[in-house]
Amino acid sequence: MIAVLFPGQGSQTADMRASVERLRPDLLELCREELRVDPFERVGEGTHMAQPAIYCASLAGWSLVDPEEPAFLAGHSLGEFAALVAAGAMSERDGLKLVALRGRLMQRATGGGMMAVGAPLETAAAFAERFGLTLANDNSPEQVVLSGDEAAIDDACAGAKAEGLRAARLRVSGAFHSPAMEQAAPELEAAIAATQLAEPRIPVFSGVTAAPFDDIPGRFLEGLTSPVRWREIVLALRERGVTRFVEVGPGRVLTGLVRKTLGSDVEAETVSEEPARA
């Protein structure tokens, strides 16, 4: 049984535009129509450009997969939008509109930051509480990401070193997946309400619940401020009989997280590793 995984922000690669141009050049035209810019040329400007670029690159990767083979789909944060498009829950154009809006709203909600901690969830949660931080991503047994204001992140980075914890500040413009993103909710909610949604033809796991989407608009909004339960998603997929994980889109971040969660001998790969079919 196969699960296809769609990466989130931070997975961009230097060659992803070339992949889209080769596999799905129509997505570049869609970006020009909807965004009036080529987001791949401006990825470094921030999340408002990175998110639509990664979304398109993920759909380009999906084009290499036989859509009848996956039993489940899952996306890490931003990746949920591409996963739901792949599952037929909304159109590619509507998905791009929502992703572009989400990226702009998150870009505006600046202030604060994020840090990765090399520790299991329980240890990282206790550490976050001591420094007034919010759990943002439970990525694997070896990595948890925390969000908070700038001063708290600075203190926590110094505190992690003193406590012997592996920690690194992330290059992001805000405290994503934390209450700081609440200001983005009203405008995104209105846009989602105006979007035509359908029942996914393939179950798509939500990062909010670590279970298949039961309320797409609600889970999208919750996802702005709730932690991404990626480790739990991977475990749940394995429990449902998944024996093979295939990551589409740029990079191979999720492939590494799957291996860290399930062991190095798990069958996990990126679609670029097998250019025919997944």
Tens-digit pLDDT profile for residues 10-33 = 888 999 999 999 999 999 999 999
Q: What is the CATH number of the domain that holds 123?
A: 3.30.70.250
Asked whether residue 80 falls in the same domain as residue 195, the answer is yes
Per-residue pLDDT, averaged over 170-183, amounts to: 89
Among the three residues 146, 169, 192, which one is the final residue of a domain in this structure? 169
Asked whether residue 145 falls in the same domain as residue 265, the answer is no
Among the three residues 152, 169, 186, which one is the final residue of a domain in this structure? 169
Asked whether residue 69 falls in the same domain as residue 159, the answer is no
- Residue from 44, 43, 32, 41 nearest 96 by CA: 32
Instruction: Evaluate if residue 158 carries a pLDDT over 70.
Output: yes
Asked whether residue 204 falls in the same domain as residue 245, the answer is yes
Asked whether residue 8 falls in the same domain as residue 94, the answer is yes
The pTM for the full model equals 0.93
CA dist 176 and 154 (Å) reads 16
Q: What's residue 163's pLDDT?
A: 87
CA dist 260 and 38 (Å) reads 35
Asked whether residue 19 falls in the same domain as residue 46, the answer is yes
Q: What is the CATH number of the domain that holds 260?
A: 3.40.366.10
Asked whether residue 182 falls in the same domain as residue 264, the answer is yes
Asked whether residue 163 falls in the same domain as residue 184, the answer is no
Residue 255 lies in a domain: yes
Q: What is the pLDDT of residues 108-138, one digit of tens each?
A: 887 789 999 999 999 999 999 999 999 999 9
Q: What is the pLDDT of residues 202-220, one digit of tens each?
A: 999 999 999 999 999 999 9
Please confirm, yes or no, whether 77 is among the known catalytic residues: yes
CA dist 249 and 242 (Å) reads 20
pLDDT band at residue 274 under the 50/70/90 scheme: very low
For 35-155, list the strands marked E by DSSP. Answer: 70-75, 113-118, 134-140, 143-148
Residue 278 lies in a domain: no
Q: What's residue 112's pLDDT?
A: 87
Residue 61 lies in a domain: yes
Distance set, CA 78 to CA 22, 84, 150, 158, 172 (Å): 23, 11, 23, 30, 14
Domain total of the chain: 2
Asked whether residue 122 falls in the same domain as residue 182, the answer is no
Q: Which of these is catalytic: 11, 19, 58, 77?
A: 77
Residue 155 lies in a domain: yes
Q: What's residue 272's pLDDT?
A: 62
Asked whether residue 15 falls in the same domain as residue 145, the answer is no
- Residue from 84, 29, 94 nearest 58 by CA: 84
Q: What's residue 275's pLDDT?
A: 39
Per-residue pLDDT, averaged over 96-114, amounts to: 90
Q: Which of these is catalytic: 19, 140, 147, 177?
A: 177
pLDDT band at residue 273 under the 50/70/90 scheme: very low
Per-residue pLDDT, averaged over 40-55, amounts to: 91
CA dist 36 and 30 (Å) reads 9
Among the three residues 169, 188, 214, which one is the final residue of a domain in this structure? 169
Please confirm, yes or no, whether 11 is among the known catalytic residues: no
Q: Name the residue range of residue 155's domain.
A: 113-169
Asked whether residue 22 falls in the same domain as residue 147, the answer is no
Asked whether residue 97 falls in the same domain as residue 197, the answer is yes
Instruction: Evaluate if residue 228 carries a pLDDT over 50.
Output: yes
